[in-house]
């Protein structure tokens, strides 16, 4: 069973010998290998070669045709009733260099359970020794790409699938208090060679970004996985499905691992492509020999090969057409075919805000329709399908009262509490100006000093009425 696959660009200055040195280091670093250093020293000395020791074996195939230089290895290892097959392919042309890694695992008998899929150590070894290169507008590496506040256009290209990346993009949005729900550094390390991790700088950045991407950006701490060429988005957050940031990180990894395994591989990074390149190299050598009989055979073979290439080209055009169809149907689905509600240009200003507002409105509306009517049944169904979220608005209301009760201004305690709730505070003449989540529509004034001990509670009441 195929358990892992990925393709990634590496630094163009490295050739096939450096690739084979990385392979050798990876194998010798494994405590389970039966291959020895003296045997592995023979790697690359011939265009086609096999090494076997015990139940371990490795095949190597090298070929050069025109500007293309390819090398592939297949490493077979048996351990504990499992047969592991790792295929790694190096592909270099005049413009760039890519490597592909594929791992499959089969049980030798039904009683043996297959282990969960993991990223092979080989991917880390290749990145460390050969270095990641540019994948569209992002570089493959084991660290996150932190956006600057000025990079709104760049972020919109990433989200819309216009950044020419082949690897998916994991977008870590800023939480409502500006923090992130998980460690982007660890996430980037776990996904290195599989996906790019991009980190949003702040909550105001998210608010500005939503207008550029028609609200397609994840926000409020949610993690979004965006696929190349606008191929869709998956969202992950702590809540109904996942109880902790650790569960979210695991779900993101599983999502990417399964999708990479199921998608069509990059042809130049496959074992079959190395074999085809070796065949073309052999045909060129035969043609150069000048034999008339060989030339006739090659002409016949070329016609068959041309017919096969035409069928592949036709299939590729059909794939492009089907991808465009998927985008059309996805757009229709997003327009409402598969959902009850679209929230328009508004985003949550705190977790589950929109859901709570709509749900409470439906609950109120339910009391105003005839008993056992169709309207009541529909509203009940919507309420059952959307369980009541945590009452964050109520908690914020109580926190506001606690902070502002008896207050005659803003001291250090009050300032710290209000900022923790999402308010930014500035001095405006004789008043303080409070703006919630940097949205100017929700700006409130507090006197810098006051004689009325109830002034703070009155301010809390005004804020609650307009905001919560």
Q: Are 325 and 359 contacting, i.e. CB atoms less than 8 angstroms apart? A: no
Among residues 204, 237, 270, the one where a domain terminates is 237
Same domain, 88 and 141: no
Same domain, 16 and 128: yes
d(CA 5, CA 270): 11
Q: Are 198 and 145 contacting, i.e. CB atoms less than 8 angstroms apart? A: yes
Residue 167 is predicted with a pLDDT of 96
d(CA 177, CA 157): 25
Same domain, 362 and 424: no
Range list of H helices, 192-270: 203-212, 245-262
**437 part of a folded domain:** yes
Buried b (16+ CB within 10 A) or exposed e, 8-20: bbbeeebebebbb
Same domain, 117 and 49: yes
Give the domain extent around 106.
2-132
Same domain, 373 and 405: no
Same domain, 10 and 120: yes
**335 part of a folded domain:** no
- Dihedral sign, Cα of residue 250, residue 256, residue 260, residue 261: positive
Same domain, 396 and 463: yes
**281 part of a folded domain:** no
Among residues 180, 203, 237, the one where a domain terminates is 237
* Total of domains in the chain: 4
Same domain, 107 and 167: no
CATH number of residue 79's parent domain: 3.30.2030
Per-residue pLDDT tens digits for 187-239? 999 999 999 999 999 989 998 998 888 888 999 899 999 988 766 788 888 87
Helix (H) or strand (E) holding 416: helix 412-421
Residue 452 is predicted with a pLDDT of 60
**83 part of a folded domain:** yes
Question: Which residues of the chain register pLDDT less than 70?
Answer: 111, 230-231, 240, 290-298, 300, 303-304, 307, 321, 323-343, 450-453
Per-residue pLDDT tens digits for 345-361? 788 888 888 889 999 99
d(CA 114, CA 82): 8
**298 part of a folded domain:** no
Phi-psi bin for 56: left (phi > 0), alpha (psi -120 to 50), beta? Answer: beta
- Please give the distance of CA 22 from its chain centroid, rounded to a whole number: 26
Same domain, 6 and 114: yes
**360 part of a folded domain:** yes
| pTM value surpassing 0.85 | no
**314 part of a folded domain:** no
**300 part of a folded domain:** no
Among residues 182, 210, 237, the one where a domain terminates is 237
Q: Are 167 and 194 contacting, i.e. CB atoms less than 8 angstroms apart? A: yes
Buried b (16+ CB within 10 A) or exposed e, 250-283: ebbbebbbebbbeeebbebbbbebbebbbebbeb
Nearest to 132 by CA among 141, 144, 123: 141
Same domain, 125 and 21: yes
CATH number of residue 204's parent domain: 3.40.30.10
Residue 340 is predicted with a pLDDT of 59
Same domain, 7 and 96: yes
DSSP state of 160: H
Same domain, 92 and 169: no
d(CA 84, CA 105): 5
205's CB contacts (< 8 A; 6+ apart) are 147, 149, 152, 155, 174
421's CB contacts (< 8 A; 6+ apart) are 396, 399, 400
Bridge-partner residues for 170, per DSSP?
Answer: 197, 225
């Amino acid at each position: 069973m195929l358990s892992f696959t990925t393709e990634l660009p590496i630094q163009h200055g490295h050739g096939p010998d450096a690739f084979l040195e990385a392979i050798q280091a990876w194998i010798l670093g494994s405590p389970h290998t039966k291959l020895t250093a003296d045997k592995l020293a023979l790697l690359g000395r011939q265009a086609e070669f096999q090494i076997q020791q015990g139940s371990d074996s490795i095949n190597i195939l090298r070929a050069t045709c025109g500007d293309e230089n390819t090398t592939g290895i297949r490493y077979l290892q048996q351990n504990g009733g499992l047969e592991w097959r790792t295929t790694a392919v190096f592909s270099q042309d005049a413009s760039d260099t890519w490597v592909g890694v594929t791992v499959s695992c089969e049980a030798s008998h039904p009683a043996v359970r297959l282990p969960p899929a993991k990223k092979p150590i080989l991917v880390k070894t290749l990145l460390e020794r050969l270095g990641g290169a540019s994948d569209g507008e992002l570089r493959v590496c084991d660290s996150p790409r932190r956006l600057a506040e000025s990079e709104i256009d760049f972020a919109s290209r990433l989200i819309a699938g216009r950044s020419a990346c082949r690897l998916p993009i994991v977008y870590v949005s800023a939480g409502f208090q500006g923090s992130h729900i998980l460690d982007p550094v660890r996430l980037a390390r776990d996904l290195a060679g599989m996906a790019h991790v991009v980190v949003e700088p702040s909550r105001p950045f998210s608010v500005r970004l939503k207008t550029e991407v028609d609200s397609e950006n994840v926000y409020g701490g949610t993690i979004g996985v965006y696929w190349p060429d606008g191929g869709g988005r998956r969202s992950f957050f702590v809540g109904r499905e996942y109880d902790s940031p650790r569960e979210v990180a695991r779900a993101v990894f599983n999502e990417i691992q399964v999708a990479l395994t199921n998608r069509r591989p990059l042809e130049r990074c496959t074992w079959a492509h190395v074999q085809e390149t070796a065949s073309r190299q052999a045909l060129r050598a035969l043609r150069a020999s000048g034999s008339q009989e060989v030339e006739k055979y090659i002409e016949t073979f070329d016609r068959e090969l041309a017919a096969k290439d035409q069928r592949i080209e036709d299939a590729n055009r059909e794939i492009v057409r089907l991808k465009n169809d998927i985008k059309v149907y996805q757009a229709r689905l997003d327009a409402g075919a598969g959902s009850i509600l679209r929230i328009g240009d508004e985003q949550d200003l705190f977790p589950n805000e929109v859901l709570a507002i709509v749900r409470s409105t439906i609950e109120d509306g339910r009391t105003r329709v005839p008993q056992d009517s169709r309207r009541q049944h529909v509203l009940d169904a919507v309420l059952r399908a959307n369980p009541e979220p945590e009452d964050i608005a109520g908690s914020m209301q109580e926190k506001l009262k606690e902070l502002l009760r008896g207050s005659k201004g803003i001291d250090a305690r009050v300032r710290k509490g209000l900022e923790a709730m999402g308010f930014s505070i500035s001095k405006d003449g004789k008043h303080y100006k409070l703006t919630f989540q940097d949205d100017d529509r929700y700006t409130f004034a507090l006197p810098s000093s006051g004689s009325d001990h109830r002034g703070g509670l009155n301010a809390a009441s005004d804020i609650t009425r307009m905001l919560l």
